[in-house]
Amino acid sequence: MSDMSATKQLAGDMNSPAPQHSEVPLGTSTDNNVSSTNNNMSTWAMSNLQKLNVTELYTQQRQSLRPWLDFFNTNQFKPPANIKAGARRLVFNVEHFQTNYFIVIIILSIYCIITTPALLFILLAMGAGCYLVSLKNRESPLTIMNHQIAISQQYLAVFCLCVPLLLMVGAGSAIFWILGASVFVIFLHALFHQTPNQEAFGVQMEEMAPSSDYILEFKIDVFKTLKIVGITTGVLTAIGLGAYYIHRRTQSSKRVILRDEVRNILRPFQLTEEQLRRVMANLNTEMTNGLKSDDTENLDLAMFPTYVHHGPSGQESGEYLVVDLGGSNFRVSHVSIEGRNRMRLNNKIFLIPHSLLLGEGEKLFDYIAECLQRFIDDNKLSLLKSANYKFDLAFTFSFPCKQTSLREATLVSWTKGFSCTSVVGNDVVLMLQQAIDRRKGLKIQVVALVNDTVGTLMACSSIYRDCKAGVILGTGTNACYFENLDNVPKWTGVRDNIHKQVIINTEWGALGRHGCLDFIRTDIDRELDESSLTPHQQVFEKMISALYLGEIVRLIIVDLVQRSILFPGRMQKSPSIRPDYNIFLILRGSFYAKHVADIENDTTEDLSITTTILTSIGIHDPSYDDCYIIREVCKTVSLRAAKLAAAAVAVLINRLNMSSVTVAIDGTLFRHHQQFKHNLTRTLGRLVPRTHRLVLSEDGSSKGSALVAAVDRRLKTAPMTYDKTNLPS
């Protein structure tokens, strides 16, 4: 309104005779007069503003409200002739339609709040809090420590309490959206809406300009330029922030919808504590039944006695060879025990050709004997040995075997991808000894067959005297523990004061063969089982072990792709990458447990680790949502495995019935998958109230197996010497 007054005044000056005057330089008393006048006007405005009340302000704004028919009159929307005209139109319309624009801002704010239910709820709660404060103060003012709290301070306290909640539900983003949307709408309307008064205002300004004082004209142009630059900058900033906020809201809402669909698919993999305790009860029952009978056809767990009755006493010594066979490679070790369980270890890993995993069993054992010869020659172990010297060898064999002594073991079934012929039903110790004897000059005597769980237990037992259980959580899964012979009805060996206990190889990976785990098995589990080399066997192992975790995740991903939840339309849009997708979708075993661990632990903001892994297996340029969903799948599958492992370990601890017990654990999942280990430990703490400790067994399959052979040698030379502390309480 001040601009209009100034215009009229200037127009009046043009009609009156021009006074005689000289140019006044900048900075003289004329400027001081103008400044003084502006200061007086500002003082007057502030004093009057303070006198205004809400009713007067509402009345003034209502009077300045322009007709909405005029506001939305499409006939008046025309582009400005030039930038100068557009700037004049913009300034005039902001002044002319200020109340209308204020209502537009209110409408956009209401829309934003309504479409954000959480924000609406918090604002309603804040309003309710303020209302309760007002009701409370009507009855009596709030007093704290004889100090009366003003109602404005109480309102401020309610607001401060709600600020963190507002930030959590996205109030900041909502403000940016309202600001951006409002400025964008107002800018477009003010720029293109033209009124007759506006055009008259522009013509009048143009006619006045030539006769105006050049100093005043210079000031007006500068102020207008700065105003236009400020408005333009603000508009562009608000538009950018608004667009960014809309994009983020769109992506976020899309992700929530996708996650809801994924949750429905993953829900069967999410186990409750009630289900875990049912698994514990079933496992405990099967273990008890397995100790009673050797009827492996009708029982889930074989519960094989290992003929290892004692742990190390610290008096063992000697040097031993160890062959550890339990996966796609095997390890040959030379272990020197120097008393007090001080050990020196030297080993080498040999890769087993895939053809030997599925070929003739005799060729597999011949290959092991050949690698033994190479290891002895490379390390010059025969040097300084007498011609008749024979190495004692402990054979770590991580497959289900029925032992009749420490040196006799019949293979019950292959697991972990092995399927060699002519081995099941035969004595594997004898087969290895025959392969060694076929190589002239190789002087080795196999003195013990040791399951890898037993080696894990023995290695830790030399350090922790209360270590009475060993668990493998790696390519496969299994466990062993010390059991009193009184609880083993099927034991047919010696029972005396020396042989009061025996380590039992549970072979718990076979749990569920007769249906006791059907209540937690999913369609994915059944599909994996049917396509495996050992269908309807090792049911529990196929839900836990590293050999199968990656495949479970892959099958879930395939299901999500078929439902168009993952990579929607990607194969149609990118025909060049279709073969890579097909390879991943069809090829079993193309997703590894290491991928599961790395993706689960991906905490990067853009999930770059997940993107890299997916690209490496043929899934190029996955979206953020794709990576996010796959990470959720990996987390869910890994958590289920950890919970099931915890339930099984809890049964061991309960059966040992000791005040404090240490459980030795080895395997890639426990050793390298930190999130799996964390979930296992946390779940076990909820399931078992007893004091327990989980420790990583270092080189258990080598050192522990050597200790089994060393304990056997010590007991043969001093049969009446044994450590009573090794007996479970």
Q: Give, for 402, the enclosing helix (H) or strand (E).
A: strand 401-405
Q: Is residue 627 part of a domain?
A: no
Asked if residue 288 belongs to a domain, the reply is no
- Note whether 427 and 409 are within 8 A (CB): yes
- Helix (H) / strand (E) element for 361: namely helix 361-378
178 pLDDT higher than 90 = no
- Band the pLDDT of 584: cuts 50, 70, 90: low
Q: Identify whether the C-beta of residue 729 lies closer than 8 Å to the C-beta of residue 691.
A: no
pLDDT score recorded for residue 346: 93
Res 7: pLDDT: 41
In a domain, 193, yes or no: yes
pLDDT in tens, 488-505: 999 988 888 778 899 999
- CA–CA gap between residue 645 and residue 708 (Å, rounded): 26
In a domain, 165, yes or no: yes
- Provide the pLDDT confidence category of residue 101 given band limits of 50, 70 and 90: confident
- 10-14, 359-363, 410-414: which range is least confident on average? 10-14
Return the pLDDT at 134: 83
pLDDT digits (tens, 9 = 90+) for 589-631: 889 999 999 999 999 888 999 999 998 888 888 888 899 999 9
- Exposed e or buried b per residue across 76-106, where buried means at least 16 C-beta atoms within 10 angstroms of its C-beta: eeeebeeeebbbbbbbbbbebbeebbeebbe
Task: Please report the DSSP string for 260-288 in residue order.
Answer: HHHHHHHGGG---HHHHHHHHHHHHHHHH
The answer as to whether 63 is a domain residue is yes
Angle, alpha carbons 524-528-534 (nearest 5°): 150
3-state secondary structure of 323: strand
200 C-beta neighbours (distance < 10 Å), count? 10
pLDDT at 21: 41
Report field, pTM of the whole predicted structure over 0.75: no
Those residues with Cβ within 8 angstroms of residue 239's Cβ, 6 or more apart along the chain or in another chain: 180, 183, 184
- pLDDT: is 517 or 68 the higher one? 517
Name 237's Cβ contacts closer than 8 Å, sequence gap at least 6. Answer: none
250-259, 415-424, 622-631: which has the minimum mean pLDDT? 250-259
Report yes or no: 332 and 321 within 8 Å, Cβ to Cβ: yes
Structural domain contains residue 124 = yes
Strands 660-666 and 467-473: parallel
What's the structural domain count of the chain? Answer: 1
What are the helix (H) ranges across 52-170?
A: 54-63, 68-71, 83-96, 98-114, 117-139, 151-168
β-pairing, 143-144 with 147-148? Answer: antiparallel
Residue 570: which pLDDT band, with cuts at 50, 70 and 90?
low
Assigned domain for 215 exists: yes
- Which two three-digit tokens encode residue 6? 């100034």
How far apart CA 164 and CA 160 sit, in angstroms, is 8
What type of residue is 48? N
Annotated catalytic residue, options 88, 89, 331, 631: 331
Residue 6 domain flag: no
Q: Average pLDDT of 718-727?
A: 49
What pLDDT shows up at residue 78? 83
Judge contact between 161 and 122, C-beta under 8 A.
Answer: no
Which among 173, 313, 398, 462 is annotated as catalytic?
Answer: 398
Residue 229: band (very low, low, confident or very high) from pLDDT cuts 50, 70, 90: low
* Three-state helix/strand/coil letters over 540-597: CHHHCCHHHHHHHHHHHHHHHHHCCCCCCCHHHHCHHHHHHHHHHHHCCCCCCHHHHH
pLDDT tens-place string over residues 194-217: 766 555 544 444 444 444 444 444
More confidently predicted of 347 and 12: 347
Segment 520-542 mean pLDDT? 93
CA 210 – CA 216 distance, rounded (Å)? 12
Mean pLDDT of the chain: 81
| pLDDT at site 10 | 37
Of 404, 400, 406, 410, the residue nearest 431 (C-alpha): 410
Give 128's pLDDT tier (boundaries 50, 70, 90).
confident
Whether 606 sits among the annotated catalytic residues: the reply is: no
Q: Is the dihedral of CA 406, 408, 414, 416 positive or negative?
A: positive
Confidence (pLDDT) at 279: 97
CB 565 within 8 A of CB 257: no
Separation between Cα atoms, residue 475 and residue 594, nearest integer Å: 11
φ/ψ of 451, rounded to 5, equals -70, 150
| Alpha carbons 676 and 673: distance in angstroms, whole number | 5
> Which of 199-208, 230-239, 266-275 is most confident?
266-275
Q: Which domain holds residue 68?
A: 55-252
36 is catalytic: no
Catalytic residue among 300, 452, 625, 712: 452
Q: Dump pLDDT digits (tens) for 14-59.
A: 444 444 444 444 334 444 444 444 444 444 444 444 444 556 666 7
Between strands 401-405 and 329-338, the pairing is unpaired
Burial class (CB in 10 A: 0-12, 13-18, 19+), 67: exposed
Asked if the model's pLDDT at residue 576 lies above 60, the reply is no
Q: How far is CA 694 from CA 438, 649, 661, in A?
A: 43, 10, 9
- The pLDDT value recorded for residue 267 is 94
User: Is the confidence at residue 390, as pLDDT, over 80?
Assistant: yes
Choose from 59-68, 208-217, 380-389, 659-668 the range with maximum mean pLDDT. Answer: 659-668
pLDDT of the residue at 231: 58
Tell me whether residue 213 is one of the annotated catalytic residues. no
Rg (CA), the chain: 42
Q: Tokens in use for 658? A: 């000791």
Name the residue among 637, 634, 621 with its Cα closest to residue 567.
621
CA distance 555 to 488: 41
> Are β-strands 444-450 and 391-397 bridged in parallel, bridged antiparallel, or unpaired?
parallel
Least confident of 74-88, 294-308, 391-405: 74-88
- Reported for 91-95, long-range contacts at CB under 8 A and 24+ positions apart, including other chains, are 91/224, 91/227, 92/195, 92/197, 92/198, 92/201, 92/202, 93/189, 93/190, 93/191, 93/193, 93/195, 93/198, 94/186, 94/190, 95/1, 95/3
